[in-house]
Structures are given as structure tokens and as C-alpha cells.
Amino acid sequence: MCGRYVIVTKVKEVEKRFNVQAGSEAAQFSPRYNLGPGSSGLVITDKDPHRLQVFTFGYTPFWSKKRLYIFNARAEGDKNKDNDPAYKGAREIFLKPMFRHSIRTKRCLIPADAFIEGPEKEKLSKPYVVYLREKQRPFAFAGVWDEWVNKETGEVHHGYAIITTTSNSVTQAIQHHRSPVILPREWESSWLSKELSLEETLDMLSPYPGQLMNAYPISDAIRSPRHEGPELLKPIGKPLLKESEWSITEELRLDGMGSTTGRRKRNE
């Protein structure tokens, strides 16, 4: 599953990358090196596809009697319970009461620069930063969102969840059983389209190609949701795959990935 991720690209750069305009709250958004459930994150919804907004990372369906913080939604629904990476069967998220409404009518893009993952057993006791190669950042997770109203107070809460699917070669190398759905750039506008059919929606819920990703190990200090700051992303080992020219770790850690011309260092 994907419960922690990184979004440190400057808001102006996110606006430019996704061709959106930040709302007042999004315009004040601060870099997050350890964004987890219950925290605020940036989203672009199908309801308002040209606006960058801030929702809570933690989804509550509109019909729930209490507020929830569901942060992942399985693409397969109740299928593939063994998390077989070779699974090619049905994606039945649309059958789950929790998500059957949102997967049809409340989809969102979730801008991110990287995500944090660990082995299935050790979890964040042995964490890795997972990122896209060739400086493809920020990218977008495929997400679902909903609006929940507290009937006692009338307060409105907007929350989102990241859709997950089978593991790819990089998450398998980390020994993790799932991977978040990362949308190719050319699919992003379609994901937000009201014209997208359910069949077309489900066809997008595939693992991102592992050969286009990489990962490196970091300290387990990131386990604590109270910990923040670029020092969390300092590598403590080599990347899983050798980078062809430049390492991104120094950019990611020190430059906040706010531009494409930050400090770099060669792999050792």
C-alpha cells in the first residue's frame, strides 16, 4: 500500500505542470517530505479540473455515519487477495460499496514527487524513496475523493485515497506486495473527464512500468508522522538500479525539486 509520499515541488511549478490555478489554500501549501494519512495534500478533481485544491489524505464516503481516513483503494476490489503480481483478472473496485460511487464520478489527480515504501514485513522499519526516472516529477497518482458532512456540526470534509494495484519490478525488489497507480502524463486529462466510461477507467488501473522507476533506502526516522524535513530523504545506500548519468537524490533532498536546475551529484 502507499501510505506516505513526498510533494515538495513549488506550487507555481505544480500549477504549470498540470495547467491549473491554485486556490487560496493551495497557494499557501508547504513542502511535505513525509505526507501521511490525516495530513493535507494537493489534489485536482474531476469536478474542478482547472483548480489546485487541498483535501485531507484520508477518504470518507458521503454515506458514512462517522469520519474515516481510508488512504488506499484496491483496484481489484476483493479479487487477487494474495496480491499476485502476475494477476491480469478483473478490476472490481467498482463493486466495493466504499468506492463504487467515487470511481465513477469523483476521481482526482494527486500530485507527488516520490513515495515511501518498505518491505511487506518490515514496512517503514526499512523504508525506500521510490521515484520516476528521467526527472519525471511531479507526477500524478490516480485517486478517488468524496465529500462527507458531519451531521452534528454541519462541517464539510473533503478526503481522498490513492488507488493501488499489483506490484511492479521496483516494488517487488523492495519486497512490497502493492504499488500505487501512477498515471502516464497523457492519461491525466482523461482520468478527470466526465466522458470516461467505467470500462475505460478500469483499464487505466495498471502498474506503472518498473523500468521507468527507481528507489533508494533511507533512515527509518520517517516512520514517525511527526518527523518532517529534507533530512528524512537522505540516502543510506545505493539506488536499486544504476542511474545512467545523474543521481536525483541531492536534488530531491536539498533543492526540494522546485525546479529542474538544482544541485546534482554523480553516482558513486
Q: Using one digit for the tens of pLDDT, what is the confidence trace for 47-71?
A: 999 999 999 999 999 999 999 999 9
Quote the mean pLDDT of the chain.
92
The pLDDT of residue 265: 35
Residue 125 — φ and ψ, nearest 5°? Answer: -75, -15
Is the pTM higher than 0.85? The answer reads yes
Q: Kindly list the distances between the CA atom of residue 1 and the CA atoms of 108, 123, 162, 181, 263, in Å, as whole numbers in the listed order.
A: 18, 10, 9, 10, 31
pLDDT tens, residue by residue, 15-27: 999 999 999 999 9
State how beta strands 51-57 and 114-117 pair.
unpaired
Average pLDDT of the segment spanning 252-266: 41
* Mean pLDDT calculated for residue range 117-135: 95
Question: Percent of the chain at pLDDT above 70?
Answer: 90
Tell me how far apart the alpha carbons of residues 12 and 141 are, in angstroms, rounded to a whole number. Answer: 19
By the 10 Å C-beta count (0-12 exposed, 13-18 middle, 19+ buried), 142 is classed as buried
CATH topology of domain 4-255: hypothetical protein yedk fold (3.90.1680)
Residue 227 phi, psi dihedral angles, 5° rounding: -80, 135
Provide the residue count of the chain: 268
Which pLDDT belongs to residue 1?
Answer: 65
